[in-house]
Structure 1
Amino acid sequence: MILLNTNFNLPSTSGKNVSLDDYKGKYLVLYFYPKDNTSGCTLEANQFSENYSEFKKAGAEIVGISKDSIASHNRFKEKENIPFELLSDTEREVHNNFEVLKPAKMYGKDVIKTVRSTFIFDKEGNLIKEYRDVKARDHALEVLEFIKSL
C-alpha cells in the first residue's frame, strides 16, 4: 500500500470544495466508482445509503467520488436519495493519486476505466485500509463490518 498523496481538494455536491482534513475526527470511507446512474454504481450507492445511519453511529462518514460532473452527481443524489457527499474529479488527478484508473477495452475501443475501490481513513486522516477492484454487491456491508471493528 504505497500512495504518494492521499489528500484531495475537490468540488462536492454540498457546493463547497472538500479535503481530507474536513473529515478529521471521524473515520472516512472514500469510495471510487465508475459512473453515476449505472447499475453497479447505483447498487453500491444504495447499499451505502441504506446503511448510512450505521456508519454514522460507528463514527464514520462516507464520500463517493467519480469522474462525473457535479451536475451529474446532483441528479444522481436526488434520484437515489443519497445522503452523503459525492465529489467530482473530472481532471482525474485524485483518481491518479489513488491509482484507481486502468486501461481497458469497451466495445473494441481503448478506454481508461475507474477500478471500483474504497479507502478507509482513521480519525487523524491516516489511510488504514484499502479495498481494490471490488464488486458492488454487498461491498458496503463488508466496509461497515470493518468500521464497526475499529
Structure 2
Amino acid sequence: MNGTTLVLRVLHHGEKHLAGELRLVADRHGTDHEVHHVATDLARWSEEHALRVVQAARDQGLDLHDSSGTGSGVLAELRRKAAEAVGHRPEPGLLLLRDLRALHLYATENSLYWEMVAQVAQATRNEALLTLASDCHPQTLPQIRWTNTMIKNVSPQVLASL
C-alpha cells in the first residue's frame, strides 16, 4: 500500500461514515424539517463521493469492497419513531447541537483528506485523481458551511434556555 491508496482508503471510510451520520441525524431530528431534508441531501453527496473513491482506488489497484447500502427500512422506521419521541423531550436542542458538532468535524476531516488527494494527484501528475478531488471537494465545503451555520443559529436559543 502506498500513500495514495492509504489516503483513498481513509477518505472512503470518512465519506461513508459522514453519509451514515448525516442520515442518522436526519432521522433523529425528523421533526425539524430543515435538518431532515438538508442532511438527507448532503448524505447523498457523501455517498456519491464514496462510490467515486471506490473507482479511483480500483484504478490504483486497491479494492475497497464498497457496500453502499443505506440501511434497512426497519432501522429507518425505528430511528423515525425515536426522533418523534425525542422531539417531545426538553433536551432535543442539546442533542442537535452535539450532532451538528460531530457532523462538522467529520466533514472538515473529509475536506482535509480531499486536499491530500489533490496534492498527491498534482505531485504524481495523476489527472484522474485531480479531477476526482476537483469534483468532490467543493461539495464538502457546503457540508461544513451548513453545519457551522446551523450551530450559529441553534446554539444561542438552546444554550440560553438552559
TM-score normalised by length of structure 2: 0.30
Q: Which is bigger in relative contact order (C-alpha 8 A, separation at least 6)? A: 1
User: As a proportion of its length, which structure holds more helix?
Assistant: 2
TM-score normalised by length of structure 1: 0.31
Larger Rg: 2
User: As a proportion of its length, which structure holds more strand?
Assistant: 1
